[in-house]
Structure 1
Amino acid sequence: MTEAAATHSERTAHPKGLAFLAATELAERFSYYGMTALLALYLVKQLLLPDHAGQVLGLAQLRALFEYRGPISNQAFASLIFGWYGGLVYFTPILGGLLADRWLGARRTVILGALLMVGGHLAMSFDASFLAALVMLILGSGCLKGNIAAQVGALYPPDAESLRARGFTLYATGINIGAVLGPLATGSVATLYGWHAGFALAAALMLVALCIYLAGQRHFSDTGPKRGDRLVLPPLTAEERRRTWALLGLIALTIPANIAYPMIWNIGIVWIDQHVDLLSPFGAVPASWFNSVESFSSIAVAAPLVALWAWQARRGREPGSIVKIGLGSAIVGAAASLFALGCLAATADGRVSVLWALAGFIGMGVAFMWFWPILLALISQAAPAKFKSTLMGGAYLSLFVGSTLMGWVGTFYDQMSNTAFWTLDAAIAFGGALLIFLARKPLHRALAPAPSG
């Protein structure tokens, strides 16, 4: 009876390592989202102005590269920089996964990534080193992102699908707590003391993330090779190849949502700064604070969602992971539609009620909890063990492609009406949701475990 009770506890309670990994990501996301909340406005309102642009090493050459088809506006240039930065941040995790799987192991790779990110945030405190800072942040994020998520998945037994999904939802909640606090803190500091002070605060929180991770190492598993060894992986079996291709297909189907969703961090913040009525009884609210609204809504909906899914699981009625991801993509489209409706309801002087912006950002936060942590949990469950970190990093390829395309779509912002632009953003997400629902049955068959015997 005691042994049975212990086994039941292991299958219903979350491991201690989850708290440390979630806290690490909380502090890391504080720094990342704090910096991201400032980036689009910093580019448009300061860095790309003539007095500052000439001081940035390599910026003139980068602009010449982006203008290969003709001159572009500062707004379009800022959107492309934001999109490529966001995209490359999510491309490098696959390289970080390979580094962990074949050479360093997850722990050492995460530590290397944290150190690079500290340096990158510090370099953001100076105009001249802006592009070098982005490079360090891109490389550091690649080492850190997929490997922490893979370590979360490794904490759970292979057959604990529902518990693992709830664990990833709680992990994503830690991400969102950091994402709430980051924009509020860096936005306030930037308003009071300047852009570079806000970036310096992000560097301090990245140091906190590193300290938390080091403190919790004894609770993490690390299946990577020992120092100096290079892991030789056996070839994938036919079943593992089938599951790998199915997971890659599902990752690709989340690209439309990952075009429409991060648009709020780029054009969304600029649109709010330019067109939304931000006056309050205490003065004008910084537009960068709206990034916290989206993250706060993810936190608020997390507990009800976890409870709902657990209740449905006990009755055998919980939606499958693929259906959840499709619903999340549809919610992204609905949230973007609220921005378009707000533009239609603007006052005579073109000001949009803050309620429309709040509703849209809240909707995006709800959508995030339906599709992104569920995708990570599904990959953690279904990916071949010898390829898990690489595929977990591969999940971020959806964000790479989505973010770079988001930057390109954002270049049309100052060429279209606001209503048309946000309608386009919504249509992209709805199209992705439709594709996921159409493909759900073949994907489910491909990801189902092979029958034993």
Structure 2
Amino acid sequence: MKPSMDMQKPPASDAAPDAAAVGGKRHPRGLATLVLAELWERFSLYGMVAILVHFLAASRGHGGMGLHEGTAEAVEGVYMAMISLLALPGGWIADRFLGARRAVLWGGVVIMAGHALMAVPNPVFVWPGLVLIVIGTGLLKPNISALVGRLYAADDDQRRDAGYSIFYMGINLGAVIAPLVVGYLGEEINWHLGFGAAAVGMALGLVQYVLGGRRLSEQLRAEPVVRLTPAERAKVGKSSAYGLVFTAVLVTLLAASHALSIDTITFVLTVVAVVVPAGVLLSMYRSPKIDRVEKTRLRAYVWLFLAATLFWLVYDQMGNELNMFAAQKTDLSLLGWHIPASWTQSLPSLFVIILAPVFAAFWVRRGKHMSTPFKFGLALLLTGASFVVMSSAAAIASSGVKVSLMWLVGVYVIQVMGEMCLSPVGLSVTTKLAPRAFTNQMMGVWFLAAATGDAIGAQLPRLDAVIGQSWNFLWQGAMVIAAGAVMVLFTKRLKVLTGEAAAAREAVAVAA
């Protein structure tokens, strides 16, 4: 799971709280509507993702797509990367075109349509189904999180944080339940029945979102924050037309050279996921709107961005590489029954639910003594260590013996501990280091770290066939551990660049 991706905390609304919130004791009535909508959206997404790589790699005789294993894993990873990438334009569309409430509604409708297409037992509907889910999630995902923050008055920080905690639990509850339901139906009965269950889940979310709309209309405007002017609309239309023409030309050239394939598309999208964040950060750095201090902090942020990219590069391989490892090389016998491999995808979210309160209490007590760069470094050390453990598991499995499920349980515990070190502070440090002229855009940039990491990580399982899976896990784990060690060693320098060192000195002076 990605708390940092699903828990965007925008500026609070200055609207008055509703009747349920008066007195500061109860949460706004609209919170339940948003929590349930997000729970069912996460149910649909993570349920489908739990079986996607298995469906893509399964032979046509077993109802799958018959893709090469490396291709199937790349598709799953790039698919998740595009979801993160489109969160950026999804927020912009809500701000300038639809408004957050309508963006959530239409996003849910498009997601449901995508799942419904994948439920049709015909391979031709799979790719348009995936495209629709990506587009719909890009609309819904950032904007439903924004609506949660706007339920509360500007000075109601304590209840807003508590509201996000409830929202966060809804996210993870949906992600825990989804693989159990969709995974069983897809793996044990029929793939398309599983996709159909995901569509039903999204439909349930939409129904309760519409029925609960009255709880939102009392507080939240349905209109965009700032509508596009006619001149801006013309500019957007022109840029979109250029983009479509460029895409059409690229596809035509690839087809003419007989290079148009699923693998080629995943490689192109991986390049896009790397180039876009680099271009955004570079354009910010070169902007005349930021001063010398902001440039220094932006340079520091680049190191944190790269660290987050490496983290997600490893962490999000749970949906493809570790998912396939569960299916092929793990003993899934539990109490005399063979559980579906997709059920292992419930473990990370389950551990998030268990460990989040523990880490929250720890950060309250000890967090002020640990800087953001140090926390990022610790996250990398833990996540890299998880792949060193996977290397050992893969080495044992290479002899033809299936390994115990406890190997994956241990790996997911280590990874979630790493996530607890990185995700809670990611958006916070992004806000602190953002140049004043790009405060809102920087929130989207943080999402791009996951997109870049997911896209690159999507291609790495292909190396299994070249160097072996055990060595593939090992070099990735060693690389991330080395990056974590560098972050820890240069913590003092990064604290100076981020301004944390100066803030700490001021705090000591005030206390004295």
Aligned to 2:253: none
C-alpha spacing 1:307/1:138, structure 2 compared with 1 (3 Å) = same
Quote the offset at 1:156 in angstroms.
6.6
Aligned to 2:40: 27
Distance 1:431 1:13 in 2: 47
The answer to whether structure 1 residue 250 and structure 2 residue 304 are counterparts is yes
1:284 partner amino acid: H
RMSD: 3.9
1:414 partner amino acid: A
C-alpha spacing 1:34/1:373, structure 2 compared with 1 (3 Å) = farther
Aligned to 1:132: 128
The answer to whether structure 1 residue 399 and structure 2 residue 450 are counterparts is yes
Question: Within 5 A, what are the aligned runs for 1:9-48?
Answer: 16=28, 20-46=33-59
Distance 1:378 1:13 in 2: 30
Distance 1:261 1:204 in 2: 28
Identity over aligned pairs, percent: 27
C-alpha spacing 1:346/1:138, structure 2 compared with 1 (3 Å) = closer
1:25 partner amino acid: E
Select 1:410's aligned residue among 444, 461, 468.
461
The answer to whether structure 1 residue 338 and structure 2 residue 396 are counterparts is no
C-alpha spacing 1:10/1:359, structure 2 compared with 1 (3 Å) = farther
Distance 1:297 1:345 in 2: 25
Quote the offset at 1:424 in angstroms.
2.6
Distance 1:143 1:91 in 2: 11
Equivalent residues of 2:315, 2:383 under 8 A apart:
yes
Distance 2:216 2:231 in 1: 22
Select 2:313's aligned residue among 259, 269, 275.
259
Quote the offset at 1:281 in angstroms.
2.9
The answer to whether structure 1 residue 81 and structure 2 residue 75 are counterparts is yes
Distance 2:62 2:160 in 1: 51
Quote the offset at 1:35 in angstroms.
0.4
Distance 1:206 1:105 in 2: 20
- Unaligned runs of 5+ residues in structure 2 are 1-20, 233-287, 504-512
C-alpha spacing 1:198/1:422, structure 2 compared with 1 (3 Å) = same
Aligned to 1:306: 360
Question: Within 5 A, what are the aligned runs for 1:59-138?
Answer: 74-126=68-120, 127-138=123-134
Aligned to 1:142: 138
Aligned to 2:283: none
Equivalent residues of 1:336, 1:423 under 8 A apart:
yes
Distance 2:173 2:317 in 1: 20
Equivalent residues of 1:120, 1:132 under 8 A apart:
yes
SS at match of 2:119: coil
C-alpha spacing 1:212/1:396, structure 2 compared with 1 (3 Å) = farther
C-alpha spacing 1:186/1:52, structure 2 compared with 1 (3 Å) = closer
- TM-score normalized by structure 1? 0.79
Distance 1:335 1:10 in 2: 47
Equivalent residues of 1:275, 1:352 under 8 A apart:
yes
Quote the offset at 1:267 in angstroms.
0.9
SS at match of 1:124: helix
Q: Can you list the C-alpha shifts for 1:188-230, whole angstroms capped at 9, x where unaligned?
A: 1123431111111111111233344442524557794266768
Aligned to 2:422: 371
The answer to whether structure 1 residue 186 and structure 2 residue 182 are counterparts is yes
2:175 partner amino acid: A
Aligned to 1:173: 169
Equivalent residues of 1:40, 1:79 under 8 A apart:
yes
Aligned to 1:66: none
SS at match of 1:225: coil
C-alpha spacing 1:383/1:135, structure 2 compared with 1 (3 Å) = same
Quote the offset at 1:294 in angstroms.
1.2
Question: Within 5 A, what are the aligned runs for 1:313-392?
Answer: 317=368, 319-346=370-397, 349-379=400-430, 383=434, 390-392=441-443
Equivalent residues of 1:147, 1:389 under 8 A apart:
no
Distance 2:103 2:313 in 1: 28
